[in-house]
């Protein structure tokens, strides 16, 4: 029967052995083109590296080419000869004469860019094969605790590296590569007027203190309830996204702004949008919520919303996110919108992997490590809001300290910077004495007058306490806070003379 013939044929046929994607001839032709004309490497569309070559000998030859070119040396088969005279693998291909054969016909010069693209694409395909194989092996291995969500998160991370062309970048960087990147940051700081080498906060006083928000940094912004943590971080997120949009519209390529991802676990997206609209239109956020605005105010609101329609600020208000899910979503936003800043409001509302055995300290430690790993992995600054313990309220001096960070010392350890928001007027307002009437004793009038005098001195002022900074000094920065529209701004130049150092 036909069915039996098919089955028998299936058992007798030898399965095809599939090999990894590679093109050895293209690698040889490309190396030949480079050895004939070293300038070929200056015009490549793809970042070719030695690990992209399938043939190990080709990888070593290309690595030596790059090393010699870094020394401004002319690279030819003759100048390569001393480095490969004892190479056993090269001897199997014909020895030193193989280097000369690479340049024999010069076919690679006809299309070096296309050859480079093919070598790069095939390397990515091989990396995809590795990711897929590891994914299958991990999914089939049930000898350990089954954690499918963790495996999905790891697979997403691996695919992100491939998508970003980061395959093979986990190896140690040379000091030359590190210094080159450092010089780029210094040049950016010089071009910005000497104040900022990272992403802008939009607040000159903060930028001058920290030099901007640096890639791969985890910044913890903490404070007691009512201090304005969310207001400050919303201002920073808007300022960074708005600067990017303005620079883009002005044709500026190297912007100190960036698209922003805002993970709001406490407030909804429309509530955050209302805050930003309130600030930009100069209308009280309370009036907006109550609908107590005039037609002129509504027109201002309409103009503000039109201006902000293209703002590259992406809000994810999914509740009860796990740290793994947040990292997955952040990678997607990085891939789709090239975000340059991540905000998390707030850290204690994130969930761990569920394997911390109901130990909250361990769970918070896992979350803080996960945020720091995310910052390094996709190379963007991450600002995470955090609560403080009630120990602040029990002290005479209410200024927060590092020991006030709630639930885990790992937050302080993992953070590159720790900021505290402190508003003295919040505590002074809470001490308001009885409002005097005409029949009250003179002491009541004096107490209220003294309170009013103290309130006038501190009203509308806020401090950003930089309690930890890996890249610079700690200290305090004074700012102005407009509670009506929940906006932080710089003090006037005359008032800033009393800033702390």
* Domain presence at residue 44: yes
What confidence tens digit (pLDDT) does each residue in 182-219 have? 566 556 555 555 566 788 888 888 888 888 899 989 99
Query: 403, 418, 433: which is the final residue of a domain?
Result: 418
Here the CATH number for the domain that contains residue 263 is: 3.40.50.300
In which band, very low, low, confident or very high, does the pLDDT at 10 lie, cut at 50, 70 and 90? very low
31: containing domain: 24-164
The verdict on residue 388 lying in a domain is yes
Please check the confidence at residue 148 and state whether its pLDDT lies above 50.
yes
Chain segment 260-284, per-residue pLDDT in tens: 999 988 888 888 888 888 888 788 7
The model's pLDDT over 53-83, given as tens digits with 9 standing for 90+, comes to: 888 889 888 888 888 876 778 888 888 888 8
Of residues 462 and 174, which shows the higher confidence score?
Answer: 462
pLDDT in tens, 435-449: 888 777 888 888 888
Beta carbons of 277 and 305 less than 8 angstroms apart: yes
CA dihedral of residues 335, 336, 338, 342 (deg, nearest 10): -90
Same domain membership, residue 221 and residue 160: no
- pLDDT value of residue 177: 54
398 and 261 in a single domain? The answer is yes
Does 142 share its domain with 208? no
Distances in whole angstroms, Cα of residue 262 to Cα of each of 26, 230, 302, 340, 356? 45, 11, 23, 11, 26
H/E stretch holding 302: helix 295-307
For residue 7, is pLDDT > 50?
Answer: no
For residue 498, is it within any domain? Answer: no
3-state percent helix, strand, coil for the chain, nearest multiple of 5:
55, 10, 35
- Flag whether 341 is in a domain: yes
pLDDT for the residue numbered 263: 92
**Is residue 490 scored above 80 in pLDDT?**
yes
d(CA 18, CA 20): 7
| Shared-domain flag, residues 240 and 124 | no
- Confidence class for position 381, pLDDT limits 50, 70, 90: very high
Contact 215, 381 (CB under 8 A): yes
**Are 145 and 275 contained in the same domain?**
no
Q: Which domain CATH number covers 47? A: 1.10.860.10
In this predicted model, which residue has the larger pLDDT, 48 or 373?
A: 373
Of 364, 383, 418, the residue that ends a domain is 418
358 — alpha (psi -120 to 50), left (phi > 0) or beta?
Answer: left
pLDDT band at 385 (very low <50, low <70, confident <90, very high): very high
Alpha-helix residue ranges (DSSP H) falling in 192-228: 204-210
**Mean pLDDT to the nearest integer, 390-413:** 79
**Domain contains 332:** yes
CA angle 265, 151, 329 (to 5 degrees): 30
- pLDDT value for 340: 92
Share of the chain above pLDDT 70, in %: 81
pLDDT at 150 over 50: yes
What is the reported pLDDT for 170? 46
In this predicted model, what pLDDT tens digit does every residue of 294-306 receive, in sequence order? 888 888 888 888 8
Predicted confidence (pLDDT) at residue 495 exceeds the cutoff of 50 = yes
Q: Of 115, 140, 164, which residue sits at a domain end? A: 164
Are both 287 and 408 inside the same structural domain?
A: yes
Q: Is beta strand 260-264 parallel, antiparallel or unpaired with respect to 313-316?
A: parallel
Identify whether residues 99 and 150 lie together within a single domain: yes
Q: In whole angstroms, how large is the CA radius of gyration of the chain?
A: 30
Residue 199's closest CA among 219, 213, 210? 213
CA separation for the pair 76, 323 (Å, rounded): 51
Mean pLDDT over 448-473 rounds to 86
Nearest to 341 by CA among 199, 188, 157: 199
Q: Do residues 204 and 145 share a domain? A: no
Mean pLDDT in the chain?
Answer: 79
Predicted pLDDT at 344:
93
Q: Which of 46-60, 161-175, 233-247, 302-316 has the highest mean pLDDT?
A: 233-247
- For the chain, the domain total comes to 2
Residues 337 and 386 placed together within one structural domain of the fold: yes
Q: Say if 41 falls within a structural domain.
A: yes
Question: Comparing C-alpha atoms, which of 112, 216, 111, 128 is closest to residue 165?
Answer: 128
Asked whether residue 98 falls in the same domain as residue 230, the answer is: no
* Range from 14-23, 88-97, 467-476 carrying the lowest mean pLDDT: 14-23
Domain match, 260 and 140 both: no
Question: What CA–CA distance (Å, rounded) separates 179 from 176?
Answer: 5
302: in domain: yes
Percentage of residues in the chain having pLDDT higher than 90: 8
Query: What band does 259 get if pLDDT is binned at 50, 70 and 90?
Result: very high
Confidence of residue 307 (pLDDT cuts 50, 70, 90): confident
**Lowest-pLDDT range, 114-128, 189-203, 468-482?**
189-203
Question: Does residue 450 sit within a domain?
Answer: no
pLDDT in tens, 78-119: 888 888 888 888 888 877 888 888 887 777 778 888 888 888
- Give the integer Cα–Cα distance in Å for 65 and 82: 13
Based on the domain organization, do 157 and 303 belong to the same domain? no
């Amino acid at each position: 029967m036909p069915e039996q013939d098919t089955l028998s044929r299936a058992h007798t046929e030898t399965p095809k052995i599939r090999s990894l994607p590679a093109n050895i001839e293209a690698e040889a032709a490309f190396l030949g083109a480079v050895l004939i004309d070293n300038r070929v490497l200056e015009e490549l569309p793809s970042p070719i590296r030695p690990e992209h070559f399938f043939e190990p000998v080709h990888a070593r030859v290309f690595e030596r080419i790059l090393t010699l070119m870094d020394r401004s040396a002319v690279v030819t088969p003759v100048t390569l000869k001393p480095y490969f005279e004892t190479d056993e693998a090269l001897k199997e291909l014909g020895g030193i004469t193989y280097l000369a054969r690479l340049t024999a016909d010069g076919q690679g010069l006809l299309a070096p860019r296309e050859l480079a693209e093919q070598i790069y694409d095939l390397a990515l395909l091989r990396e995809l094969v590795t990711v897929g194989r590891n994914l299958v092996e991990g999914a089939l291995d049930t000898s350990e605790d089954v954690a499918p969500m963790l495996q999905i998160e790891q697979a997403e991370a691996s695919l992100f590296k491939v998508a970003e062309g980061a395959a093979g970048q986990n190896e140690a960087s040379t000091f030359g590569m590190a210094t080159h990147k450092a010089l780029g940051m210094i040049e950016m700081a010089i071009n910005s007027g000497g104040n900022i080498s990272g992403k802008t906060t939009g607040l000159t006083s903060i930028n001058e203190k920290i030099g901007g928000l640096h890639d791969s940094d985890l910044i913890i912004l903490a404070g007691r309830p009512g201090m304005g943590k969310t207001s400050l971080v919303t201002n920073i997120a808007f300022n960074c996204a708005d600067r990017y949009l303005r620079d883009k519209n002005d044709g500026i390529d190297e912007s100190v702004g960036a698209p922003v991802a805002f993970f709001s676990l406490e407030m909804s997206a429309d509530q955050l949008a209302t805050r930003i609209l309130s600030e930009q239109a100069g209308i009280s956020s309370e009036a907006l919520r109550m609908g107590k605005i005039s037609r002129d105010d509504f027109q201002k609101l309409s103009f503000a919303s039109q201006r902000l329609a293209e703002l590259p600020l992406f809000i994810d208000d999914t509740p009860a996110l796990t740290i793994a899910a947040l990292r997955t979503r952040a990678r997607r936003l990085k891939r789709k919108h090239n975000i340059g800043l991540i905000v998390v409001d707030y850290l204690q509302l994130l969930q761990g992997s569920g394997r911390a055995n109901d130990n909250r300290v361990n769970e918070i430690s896992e979350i803080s490590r996960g945020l720091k790993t995310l910052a390094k992995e996709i190379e963007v600054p991450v600002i995470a809001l955090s609560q403080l313990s009630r120990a602040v309220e029990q002290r005479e001096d209410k200024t927060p300290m590092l020991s006030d960070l709630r639930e885990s010392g790992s937050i302080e350890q993992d953070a590159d910077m720790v900021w505290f928001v402190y508003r003295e007027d919040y505590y002074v307002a809470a001490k308001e004495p009885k409002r005097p009437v005409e029949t009250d004793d003179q002491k009541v009038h004096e107490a209220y007058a003294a309170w009013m005098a103290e309130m006038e001195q501190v009203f509308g002022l806020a401090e950003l306490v930089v309690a930890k900074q890996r890249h610079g000094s700690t200290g305090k920065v004074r700012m102005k806070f407009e509670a009506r529209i929940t906006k932080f701004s710089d003090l006037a130049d005359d008032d800033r003379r009393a800033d702390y150092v």
